[in-house]
Structure 1
Amino acid sequence: MKPRNLLLLLLIIAIIIVLFLLRRCKEPVLVTKITRTDSAYASPPYRKNQLVLIFKHTPTAAERTRIKDSMHHYGIDTTKIQVKGCPNCTDMPVELWNAPGIETYVFADPVRGGTTTGTGSQGQGEDTSSYYSPNFIFQMPPDRDAKEPAQITKMVSRRFNNKGTPVRVAILDTGLDEALLNAGYTWKNPLETAGNNNDDDGNCMKDDVVGWNFANNNADVRDDHPGRHGSHIALFILNEFQRDSANALQLMILKTHDQKAEGDMFGTMCAIGYAVSHQANIINASWGYYSGYKSNPYRPLDSMITTVLAQKGILFITSAGNRSAAADDSAIKAGLSEADLRDLTKHNMYPACFNNIGSNVIVATTVNDTAVSPTQNFASRYVDIGVKADISENGMQQFRVPLMLNNSYISGSSFATAIVTGRIAAMCPVSMYVPQLKKETFLNAREVSASKNEMIKEKVKEGRYIIHN
């Protein structure tokens, strides 16, 4: 081929390439539907076709449109979105969006920041106006078979000292047994009249006198869990006030878990919002979920606990967690060794692993004088304080169920958590619950009476523990 013809051919090819590139720039980028390939270890179970949105402020119509446009570009059929808000309509704007495959949006990489042209700088689970998360399922951390009494009966007849400045403790759990509902320790909503089936305080919740059932969206907070998990939590908290107390106790009952001890992100966030708006001082959260997913689709709950609650002066106390056959099996299949299963730095459990030096999260586990219970999680990076058990049986550390005539024992970091909650609520001055509070202020308070043991400091921060009485 002659040089002149060769140059002409190359010029034509160059023009074709330029035209092709210009055309590509003008065409919208097609985004395929997001798919998930995570194992059960990588991501905890979540409710299909649901996405939880926690708005940083009341969203404008334009912000909602931008979020939906972004979802559409990721393959979500936004015409099928149905929106459900928290029952407590006067609290922070938390919404549950339902649509086929909508939960996959949060795992997009990068997240488009609620727009079609964002850079993804916000990271997963966040945009400029909201946090969002799959509706993860939260369960009570199992430790032993549920063989506890079906009801709270035959209680010790004692006069309880319930004088002093009230400390309001919100229990996010399975509810409260009827035998305890009228014990004089439950918080009473001053703006709500019991039994009139009216929304007296205008928060869209009828008869929320002592709290609310976020599992079934009604005012019935009775504990229908076979093992009465939430009721036992209340007993351990009550016992610390009976043992010694500088304060009066008000239990706010927020039923976030059903009779199967199962709750979810949406109900939990709504319950936390309720606790905030009704001036709780402490939130007891004896539940959680395992996950090996290293990105941060849990940002909404993380931000709420470690930032919002701290700013409001509310202490969040949660359990380190116990062994779980399903989670352990999944982790082993993913390559984790049996020796690492209880190590929270290797086998993450949330919200325990949201803990950090500056946050307001206290994680409690069960210990004896020299060792952490082999059935419960540990890591000095996360676990702030332990509780010495009453007895050790077959390697399991157990507590005697307090305030009951029958001599029964129970084990689990859930109840160690309640003991820490009760001790702090009973003894620490109410003046300590201030904006930007720090957990170390409470943990090191002389009123808590914590001891330290060098033999457990690699598993519990500073080897710190208290004794259950």
Structure 2
Amino acid sequence: MRIFTSLLILSVAFLALLSCNSIRSYPESEHVPDQNIVLFSLIDVKGTKVSMPVAKQKESVDSVNKVLLRNGKETIKIKHWCPCDSALVLLEGKRLDQLIISGKEMASSTGGGSGVSGEPPYGIKLNPDGSLNWPQLDEPGSKNYRLSLPYGPVNEPGKVVKVILPTTNPTDQPFIIAILDTGFDGSLYTPASNSFWVNTAEVPEADRDHNGLVGDQFGYDFVNNASFPYDDNNHGTLVTSLIHEQLRNNAWAAGKVRFMHLKTFGASGQGTLFDNLCALSYARQMNAKMINASWGFYSQQESKLLDHFIQQLDTTGITLVAAAGNKIESLERNPLGWLTGIYRNLDTNPFWPAAFSATRENVIAVTTIHSSTKEVKANPAVLPEGPFAVCPNQNYSRQAVNIGVLNNLNLKVTGPIIPGCEVLDITAANGGTKSGSSFAAPVVTGKLVNKLGPDWPGHKRAGLYTKMRTLSPTTLKTDPSLNNQLKDHYVLRHEP
């Protein structure tokens, strides 16, 4: 009996250890192999900081290749420049994604400056651990992550897009909301077609404004390097409709709010970090006030490069509203079959850029919540006051997720759907509902602009919260039941 008991204890201990090891193994989003993203430092020209000329960038890459060859490594080459920000460069080379590249803040001890000067290799060196010091870069290099849209598929990819050009309706000093997504399809949601941002300095099939993009009159397609951001997936159109829904019957919004569509995801709903960084730079240069980012990627290490671009948004007064992400079904169970829920917690499994809310005051991370009372589940028409919980298919965090959206509980839903976790798909001909933090973020974006737009209090979270609670105390409220799941434990009611 003692032997049996001992074996049982050992077996349980072994399985527990196996389970714990499984829990500690967090997933990282896929990345494009053999690629790395770098940002070249600005250089000083007669007291003015300007982008490093392309010729100098190539010179710097040549210097890197000399160092790599001398150490028996594969060489690299420039694959792409961001068309609107030549300092942002996509590199390519065999196993380049495995090379750790340090920028000037990590390589200052080499004696190299931020610009290209002196004789090659300009302070570039390979460290004993195999990492590369490259002083002409502003930040460490980054893998080119494959980004995902946290949602259930909205439409079968590869659909035929009906081309409906937007109504040219420019306005002086527009309040610009940049939407980095799959684009926009006016045939699915015509009300927003006259709310397109218009680049009045541009003309079709030309780059009259000399910003590096040809024909970017109504936004841009960074996936296909095309002038118009057609939506071949539907996700971006649904996101746009949810923002626009919050702005209806608002005369100021009709006259001033404009949507800048930046297509950074293709028909399959997949995108890359490089395209989204490029789009963030474009939105900043074109004076966006808010950016809706219903996407992200998982990584235990924050991207210093992405943080650099978000800091630039902060410096220029831009708020980024980001989806908190959804649970990954295949990872929710450990080898024992227990539901861990740990992968949904951004404190231990960061989803970027939402996780930057922990350190950046211009980032608002959003998820969806529901009432945890049995009475409301039995009667969805009852508008609850709490307690609340984050919807079981979406992420949460005590350090990084700020707002939980409580959707319209009067939706006629069937099956295992929890009231409050679904939004009505107003772009679908046959109706239906969708769920995901992708669709919580645009509700917050639209609601903030609707309530605060004419008297915008600035881009920091605290100021936006204070103003919102003053002007519309029933729209944004705190609830203590969310203290363990949300950083700011705010409830925002989605009332179409």
| TM, length-normalised to structure 1 | 0.76
Give 2:355's match in structure 1, choosing from 349, 353, 356. Answer: 353
Aligned pairs for 1:172-321 (under 5 A) are: 172-179=180-187, 180=189, 183-194=193-204, 197-225=205-233, 228-242=234-248, 244=250, 246-247=252-253, 248-291=256-299, 293-294=300-301, 296=302, 298-305=303-310, 307-321=311-325
Deviations 1:182-209 (A, max 9, x none): 7210001101123xx2222222322111
Return the offset for 1:83. Answer: 3.8
Tell me, in whole angstroms, the C-alpha distance in 2 between the residues paired with 1:384 and 1:431.
22
- Which runs of 5 or more structure 2 residues have no equivalent in the other structure? 1-23, 43-50, 113-122, 163-169, 372-387
The equivalent of 1:464 in structure 2 is 490
Q: Give the AA of the match of 2:262.
A: L
Aligned pairs for 1:50-61 (under 5 A) are: 50-57=35-42, 58-59=51-52, 61=56
The equivalent of 2:377 in structure 1 is none
Deviations 1:203-236 (A, max 9, x none): 23221111111111111311001xx100000000
The equivalent of 1:138 in structure 2 is 147
Tell me, in whole angstroms, the C-alpha distance in 1 between the residues paired with 2:32 and 2:247.
39
Return the offset for 1:45. Answer: 0.9
Partner SS, residue 367 of structure 1: strand
Q: Give the AA of the match of 2:28.
A: S
Return the offset for 1:145. Answer: 4.8
The equivalent of 2:48 in structure 1 is none
- The answer on whether the counterparts of 1:364 and 1:383 sit within 8 Å (CA) in structure 2 is yes
Tell me, in whole angstroms, the C-alpha distance in 2 between the residues paired with 1:125 and 1:339.
39
RMSD: 3.6
**Residues 152 and 198 of structure 1, relative CA distance in 2, 3 Å threshold:** closer
Tell me, in whole angstroms, the C-alpha distance in 1 between the residues paired with 2:289 and 2:350.
27
Give 1:442's match in structure 2, choosing from 464, 472, 485. Answer: 464
Length, aligned pairs only? 405
The equivalent of 1:374 in structure 2 is 392
Partner SS, residue 93 of structure 1: strand
**Residues 221 and 336 of structure 1, relative CA distance in 2, 3 Å threshold:** farther
Q: Give the AA of the match of 1:97.
A: L
Aligned pairs for 1:159-178 (under 5 A) are: 166-178=174-186
Deviations 1:225-251 (A, max 9, x none): 1xx100000000001110546433200
The equivalent of 1:85 in structure 2 is 81
Tell me, in whole angstroms, the C-alpha distance in 2 between the residues paired with 1:51 and 1:42.
20
**Which has the greater radius of gyration?**
1
**Residues 63 and 438 of structure 1, relative CA distance in 2, 3 Å threshold:** farther
Deviations 1:150-202 (A, max 9, x none): 7999xxxxxxxx999631011100010132577210001101123xx222222
- The answer on whether the counterparts of 1:362 and 1:384 sit within 8 Å (CA) in structure 2 is yes
Return the offset for 1:340. Answer: 1.1
- The answer on whether the counterparts of 2:78 and 2:89 sit within 8 Å (CA) in structure 1 is no
- Which runs of 5 or more structure 1 residues have no equivalent in the other structure? 1-38, 154-161
Q: Kindly indicate whether residue 372 of structure 2 is the aligned counterpart of residue 363 of structure 1.
A: no
- The answer on whether the counterparts of 1:175 and 1:253 sit within 8 Å (CA) in structure 2 is yes
The equivalent of 1:30 in structure 2 is none
Deviations 1:125-164 (A, max 9, x none): 985632221111101013x3546997999xxxxxxxx999
Q: Percent identity?
A: 25
Return the offset for 1:55. Answer: 2.3
Tell me, in whole angstroms, the C-alpha distance in 2 between the residues paired with 1:367 and 1:442.
21
**Residues 388 and 72 of structure 1, relative CA distance in 2, 3 Å threshold:** farther
Partner SS, residue 29 of structure 2: coil
Aligned pairs for 1:115-130 (under 5 A) are: 115-116=123-124, 127=135, 129-130=137-138
- The answer on whether the counterparts of 1:214 and 1:271 sit within 8 Å (CA) in structure 2 is yes
Tell me, in whole angstroms, the C-alpha distance in 2 between the residues paired with 1:240 and 1:282.
15
Higher relative contact order, chain-length normalized (CA < 8 Å, sep 6+): 1
